[in-house]
């Protein structure tokens, strides 16, 4: 499928290096399963990384290296592997996301946020958080800014904001410089996968009051 808005170099390289939070990994892997262009770019970064490793000089490990690594694993708990990139399969949710939900959209346990908008917070490790958002056709989410980075991947329908229009497979990368109010297109309900590494900054009083309850 043709995807207009794709990942930037920083996110692709972070995913290839395995340094992104799990919530961001999930959004990136889901986008990659829908975007041929992003997958091709990732392959290029991985090839460059492999070549650099082959050209690097070997470093002798210390006698206590194994014990040190095992100690860190024990103290930090289970190491979370990043979601695997898989090609799109029938359904609205990409396969990496279906593994988290346990199926397609019919398995999502939505929670109302008001105005017909719903969310489902996904269980991920680390400080970054991932959630699915359902925005009824023609509806808007409260206008807001960002205290960190927000990745939003469209899975169904489309939304428009001050930046552009985003449809299935498109990803919007928002940071502290962006204030916007996404509005779902009139022709279909919009479902998105979003990940944030810091709370949003709502401009209206009521969303700010409800923010701790909704964990946004």
Return the CATH number at 65: 2.60.120.10
List, in sequence order, the alpha helices (H) in the chain: 9-17, 22-32, 36-55, 65-76, 95-101, 205-214
Q: Which range marks the domain in which residue 97 is found?
A: 1-216
- Judged against a pLDDT cut of 70, whether residue 85 lies above it is answered with no
- Judged against a pLDDT cut of 80, whether residue 87 lies above it is answered with no
**With 0-12 CB in 10 A as exposed, 13-18 as middle and 19+ as buried, what is 192?**
buried
Residue pLDDT, tens place only, 2-45: 899 999 999 999 999 999 999 999 999 999 999 999 999 998 88
pLDDT band at 78 (very low <50, low <70, confident <90, very high): very low
* pTM of the model as a whole: 0.81
- Judged against a pLDDT cut of 90, whether residue 121 lies above it is answered with yes
Q: Total structural domains in the chain?
A: 1
Look up residue 215 and give its DSSP letter.
T
Q: At what angle do helices 9-17 and 22-32 cross, to 10 degrees?
A: 110
């Amino acid at each position: 499928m043709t995807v207009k808005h794709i990942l930037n170099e920083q996110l692709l390289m972070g995913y290839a290096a395995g340094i992104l939070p799990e919530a961001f990994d999930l959004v990136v892997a889901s986008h990659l399963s829908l975007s041929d262009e992003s997958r091709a770019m990732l392959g290029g970064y991985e090839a460059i990384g492999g070549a650099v490793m082959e050209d690097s000089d070997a470093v002798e490990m210390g006698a206590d290296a194994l014990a040190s690594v095992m100690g860190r694993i024990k103290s930090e708990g289970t190491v979370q592997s990043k979601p695997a990139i898989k090609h799109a399969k029938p359904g609205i949710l990409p396969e990496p996301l279906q593994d988290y939900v346990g199926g397609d959209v019919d398995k999502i346990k939505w929670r109302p946020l008001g105005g017909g908008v719903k969310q489902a917070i996904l269980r991920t490790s680390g400080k970054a958080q991932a959630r699915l958002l359902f925005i009824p056709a023609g509806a808007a989410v409260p206008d807001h800014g960002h205290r960190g980075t927000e990745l939003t991947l469209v899975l169904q329908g489309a939304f428009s904001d001050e930046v552009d229009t985003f449809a299935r497979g498109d990803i919007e990368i928002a940071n502290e410089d962006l204030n916007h109010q996404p509005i779902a297109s009139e022709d279909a309900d919009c479902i998105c996968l979003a990940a944030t590494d810091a709370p949003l900054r709502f401009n209206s009083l009521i969303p700010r009051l409800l923010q701790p309850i909704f964990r946004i």
